[in-house]
Structure 1
Amino acid sequence: MPKNKNIVQTKTKNEYNRFVSPLASRNASETMQEIFSPQRKFSTWRRLWLTLAETEKELGLDIPKKAIDEMRSHLDDIDFAKAQEYERQLRHDVMAHIHTFADAAPTARRIIHLGATSCEITDNSELIIIRDAGKLICRYLANIIDKLGNVAKKYRNLPTLGFTHYQPAQLTTVGKRATLWCYDFYRDLENLERLLDQLPFRSIKGTTGTQASFLALFNGNQAKVKKLELLFAKKMGFKNIVPVTGQTYTRKIDSEILFALSNIASSVHKFANDIRLLAGMKEIEEPFESKQVGSSAMAYKRNPMRSERATGLARFLIGLTQSALQTHAEQWFERTLDDSSNRRITLAEGFLAADGMLNIVLNVVDGLVVYPNVIKTHLMAELPFMATEEILMAGVKAGGDRQTLHEQIRLHSHAASAQVKIHGKANDLIARLKADDAFKNIDIDSLIDPKRFVGLAPQQVDDFIKNYVTPIRRRYRKDLKITGQVRI
């Protein structure tokens, strides 16, 4: 293919000639994207270098106050072009940013990164970012739990067909079904909160985890090395420290975080799939905007595109756990660098995908449309069969012979089933029973009230909201105003 300089020039100038991840352009919120942005990452690096220098000075190292002041004055004004040029020369991103920072704070040049290895900066910054991103995911989950609690309360008494094996089963209520979705997200929140609460900082460990370089800096003073490690972690907001490391913190922590996100993804997938199935039955639908187009060909369609997108993102996220496990398994002895290129993708994209799909769930739950009449129509098509045991017992109480009544119900049920399956007609079982003299002394209509068949579903909704939803609402009372946004 001949070279065309004009095409090359066009590509460098036109943003639409470069790939942009759909996770960023179509799904994840601006807030989550900022957390994983280059600005946040490298500003965090500089804050780690500053905190390290300040703490080393506190513990007696000769670090000029002017150096500290210069570093503090240049935490966010990063010359990214200069950093990229340094990295092209050095082929080392940490050293590139050390030089860039040193150019901005020349008095600090000799003490930036003193005693440290790259993972003092990269690993610790990643743990900070994981913590911040995880807290945002927790807020999303709390809002979903709150909103599903509202749905459960509103429809606690609305009977609907239950399904097992995707076949009609005993009745439940729409509100009770909402608690099933809600409890999944509740467990996800509890799990992620626990992980974040226990998330350890790598802190100051040195090149192979022995802290040898820091021991040398402090002339063999073990107490000062230990204090440096504790103070550094505390200043960066961590109460826990990884007890032992090689060069990196164990990559098992990454897989645990991605497993937690994948658990959330499975809850999203299950919820969204249920909504898609209910939309196909025209019982419950996700919001559909006035100018929204369901199909380019079939103008009447109202495709559940939000739920479909959520299931796709969930499936992608679930697949990332395999990569995280392989990365942990592949680390040799104290460390190999093949983790770096993988983790740059999986950690960020895992959180971006989680952010995107949870925003969709929030949007769907906020605008959920329930059609009680359609639900009742479907319910009443099946309820006659489910009510036969009640009718049988009532017939015996009215003086009928149990065996005779059972046989009559069996015959009428098969005949009514044939009307539905073979002739495509409505279920006429109740009409058949009413016309049979064997059941003339029974008030059949009172026996087929759907609310008789939902068991304790309404009370279970009340108990669930009281014992599970309300505590989350209290804990996140300042964060319960997030509205899900569906981008593009």
Structure 2
Amino acid sequence: MIKRYSVNKIEKIWDENNKLNVWLDVEKKVTFAWMKLNVISKEEYLLIDKNAKINIGRMLEIENETRHDVVAFTRAISETLGNEKKWIHLGLTSTDVVDTAQNKLIQESNEVVLESLINLKNTLKEKALIYKKTLTMGRSHGIYGEPTSLGLKFLLWFDEIDRQIERFSLARKQIEVAKISGSMGNYANLEFEIEEIVAEQMGLGIDNISTQVTQRDRHAFLISVFANIASTLEKIATEIRLFQRSEVKEWHEGFKANQKGSSSMPHKKNPISSENITGLSRYLRSFTNTAFENNVLWHERDISHSSNERIIFSDVFNVLVYTLDRLKNTLDDLVIDENKMLEHINSQFNVFYSQPILNYLLINCDKSREEIYDFIQKCTFETMNNKVDFKQSLINNGIEKYIDNIEVLNKLFNIDYFIRNVEKIYNRTLNK
């Protein structure tokens, strides 16, 4: 991952030294399991556990000859041991080590992802509670609809992130497994219990059935969940971008004292964070194609997946955590102009009461829906064309034909009507 979008915690996990140390840990855990089954003496295991080391430089020298990284790895380890070196890699195939270690690295990276997801979720909840009773113009198709609670926007995203965490939890369960089943996945050269012992020692689940590799549907599911998360991140970022437009200006990203918006136009304040999040979200979704194709391997295995996985896992975790954290920080610094939102509500001359009036007349007079709808629509057009209050347009056009008591109109024109059930939505969403 390029430095600009790398995350220190993720970089440390996928660092080559750390990866090889996890390979070594798998080898040691396997020798521990063989000791538990009385194949290796305790003394030999303790020597392996204490003395087995990996020297990357020496490993690379050997790999230049063997053209096989795991063979080079095991031989480099063996050079640090005495006669007990014969127990290294006993009964194993390369992917017993590589896939189990990789799944462990994924597990550690998933912990970082979860932390960032929870932080974003908490920020969205905080915003939802702050703006629960704040009115904003609701829009559909980009066009003014009716006033609604601004807090519902943040609550909606809070609930969506909560669902993403549920999906992520299931994907974690399926990918965070040990695979110690041998060359064909049939445990022919291993005892069944070896895998169980290694899994327990490493805090992983068990790959119940495999070939020479852990099946890549597990990886594809995880990355597809990440792609789904990315769609939510872009959804939020897009909303911020829409509200920051000059024609709207209800929200805008925080702008630091010495920040510049344009190299040529000093007046510009651009939604750069949201645009950055949008671009990286698109990049995140691009990983799904590779992940799904990796599930199609020849017979028990081939290595067509191996080359790209050396790149994509580090990249996908770096970009996901970076994007999650950047969105959280963007929301923390978000500036919301409540006066501008109120100005936009007032600019509509109360025309958004058209549906409450429609519903009231449908219930309380004997005219057809078509007649009532057409009458109200005519009044709304007059309201916006002549810039007169909607209530006055109704009166001017003869609302008394449809309503017995004209004073009822005053009660219908109540702005709190549009947020009368907001508390129930909050209770259902937060207490589910």
TM-score bracket, shorter-length normalisation: 0.7 to 0.9
Structure 2 residue 196 is the aligned partner of structure 1 residue 230: yes
Whose relative contact order is higher, 1 or 2, with alpha carbons under 8 Å and at least 6 apart? 1
The corresponding residue for 1:384 is 350
The corresponding residue for 1:260 is 225
Cα distance in structure 1, aligned partners of 2:42 and 2:201: 20
Whether the 8 Å contact between 1:268 and 1:358 is mirrored in structure 2 is yes
The corresponding residue for 1:311 is 278
Whether the 8 Å contact between 1:151 and 1:178 is mirrored in structure 2 is yes
Question: Secondary structure of 2:136's match?
Answer: strand
Cα distance in structure 2, aligned partners of 1:116 and 1:392: 74
The corresponding residue for 2:388 is 428
Query: Once the 2 structures are TM-superposed, how far is the Cα of residue 191 of structure 1 from its aligned partner?
Result: 0.9
User: Cα 1:236–1:373, aligned 2, differ >3 Å: closer, same or farther?
Assistant: same
Give ranges in structure 2 of 5+ residues lacking alignment: 401-405
Mean Cα displacement is larger for which, 277-286 or 61-70? 61-70
TM-score normalised by length of structure 2: 0.88
Whether the 8 Å contact between 1:203 and 1:232 is mirrored in structure 2 is no
The corresponding residue for 1:453 is 418
Structure 2 residue 235 is the aligned partner of structure 1 residue 270: yes
For 1:354-369, list aligned pairs within 5 A: 354-369=320-335
Q: Deviations over 1:298-351 (max 9, x none)?
A: 22222111111111111111111111111112x011001111002112222221
Question: Secondary structure of 2:212's match?
Answer: coil
Cα distance in structure 2, aligned partners of 1:404 and 1:96: 84
Alignment partner of 1:145 out of 121, 124, 136: 121
TM-score normalised by length of structure 1: 0.78
Query: Once the 2 structures are TM-superposed, how far is the Cα of residue 366 of structure 1 from its aligned partner?
Result: 1.8
Residue correspondences, number: 423
The corresponding residue for 1:52 is 30
Q: Which amino acid aligns with 2:416?
A: K
Structure 2 residue 159 is the aligned partner of structure 1 residue 192: no
Q: Provide the alpha-carbon RMSD of the alignment.
A: 3.0
Q: Which amino acid aligns with 1:282?
A: K
Q: Deviations over 1:371-420 (max 9, x none)?
A: 111111112223621124556889999x9x9999988865553344335x
Cα distance in structure 2, aligned partners of 1:282 and 1:72: 64
Give ranges in structure 1 of 5+ residues lacking alignment: 1-20, 215-224, 420-426, 468-488
User: Cα 1:114–1:417, aligned 2, differ >3 Å: closer, same or farther?
Assistant: same
Query: Once the 2 structures are TM-superposed, how far is the Cα of residue 242 of structure 1 from its aligned partner?
Result: 1.6
The corresponding residue for 1:38 is 16
Question: Secondary structure of 1:162's match?
Answer: strand
User: Cα 1:148–1:211, aligned 2, differ >3 Å: closer, same or farther?
Assistant: same
Whether the 8 Å contact between 1:74 and 1:105 is mirrored in structure 2 is yes
Q: Which amino acid aligns with 2:286?
A: G
Q: Which amino acid aligns with 2:33?
A: T
Alignment partner of 1:81 out of 57, 70, 74: 57
Question: Secondary structure of 1:263's match?
Answer: helix
The corresponding residue for 2:299 is 333
User: Cα 1:379–1:64, aligned 2, differ >3 Å: closer, same or farther?
Assistant: same
Query: Once the 2 structures are TM-superposed, how far is the Cα of residue 270 of structure 1 from its aligned partner?
Result: 0.9
Alignment partner of 2:317 out of 337, 348, 351: 351
Whether the 8 Å contact between 1:176 and 1:458 is mirrored in structure 2 is no
User: Cα 1:284–1:46, aligned 2, differ >3 Å: closer, same or farther?
Assistant: same
The corresponding residue for 2:403 is none
Whether the 8 Å contact between 1:192 and 1:260 is mirrored in structure 2 is yes
Question: Secondary structure of 2:189's match?
Answer: helix
Cα distance in structure 2, aligned partners of 1:169 and 1:242: 52
